[in-house]
Chains A and B, each alone.
Chain A
């Protein structure tokens, strides 16, 4: 059974870089046709897809986030990562990592989420 867990700083200063890690257990991050995503949710609001990465390193990002987002993967550690540069208060949210089991399939399972607050 695949499990995901996010980790990283809970507080980031404005204009700095938000960095999170998602640790995957229960299966190899390189298995099958899976790909790996980040989704965020501001308090009291809906879900926003950030982007995804294939084990090969190929990525797709939400155009609304522009070039501020980078997702990377380390298959040797069974981890993938999120970096968001030049953060503002609008980036304050619970950040989730999630697995997608293939084309046109949904997100699941999800990590438990980690709250990141952008504040000085």
Chain B
């Protein structure tokens, strides 16, 4: 099973960024999302498609339908510039997407 992310997404400060994760019938699986800044460990920002862990800003939201899961960042800030990875479970195996570099410019 594979999931696909766009290599890069650009957004202007204050605008909405959408990062997609695509896979066969992905909407039937739960997706998680991770933020990773250079030199740092990944941080869980969304799980079970749309649930936000404690401490994650409300501007982060998630959704999933059909073959696509989407991480949305509303009112994007410069501090949100990072790599973002989606992840799903398939037959007890964790599958990560290739990552999306979010540039805020």
Q: Residues on A close to B: CB < 8 A?
A: 37, 39, 46-49, 52, 60, 62-63, 96, 104-113
In the complex with contacts A37-B94, A49-B94, A63-B93, A111-B41 CB distance below 8 A = yes
Given A49-B87, A49-B96, output 6 extra A-B contacts at Cβ < 8 Å: A47-B42, A47-B87, A104-B48, A105-B48, A107-B32, A108-B44
Closest A residue, CB atoms, query B43: A108
Contact A46 B97, beta carbon cutoff 8 Å: yes
Chain A residues within 8 Å of B87, by CB: 47, 49, 106-107
Nearest CB of chain B from residue A106's CB, rounded to whole Å: 3
Q: What is the number of contacts between chain A and chain B, taking CB atoms within 8 Å?
A: 61
Query: Does chain A have a CB within 8 A of B34?
Result: yes
Closest B residue, CB atoms, query A110: B41
Q: Is the interface of B mostly helix, strand, loop or mixed?
A: strand
In the complex with contacts A47-B85, A62-B93, A106-B32 CB distance below 8 A = yes
Query: Does chain A have a CB within 8 A of B13?
Result: no
Chain A residues within 8 Å of B92, by CB: 60
In the complex with contacts A49-B93, A63-B93, A107-B44 CB distance below 8 A = yes
Q: CA A37 – CA B89 in complex, angstroms?
A: 13
Q: Which of B47-100 contact A (CB under 8 A)?
A: 47-48, 53, 85, 87, 89, 92-99
Closest B residue, CB atoms, query A101: B47
Contact B47 A105, beta carbon cutoff 8 Å: yes
Q: CA A49 – CA B93 in complex, angstroms?
A: 8
Chain B residues within 8 Å of A46, by CB: 85, 96-99
Q: CA A47 – CA B32 in complex, angstroms?
A: 13
Nearest CB of chain A from residue B95's CB, rounded to whole Å: 7
Q: CA A111 – CA B87 in complex, angstroms?
A: 18
Contact A112 B41, beta carbon cutoff 8 Å: yes
A-B contact pairs, 24 of them (CB 8 A): A37-B94, A39-B96, A46-B85, A46-B97, A47-B96, A48-B96, A49-B95, A60-B93, A63-B93, A104-B30, A104-B47, A104-B89, A105-B48, A106-B34, A106-B47, A106-B48, A106-B53, A106-B87, A107-B34, A107-B42, A107-B87, A108-B44, A108-B47, A110-B41
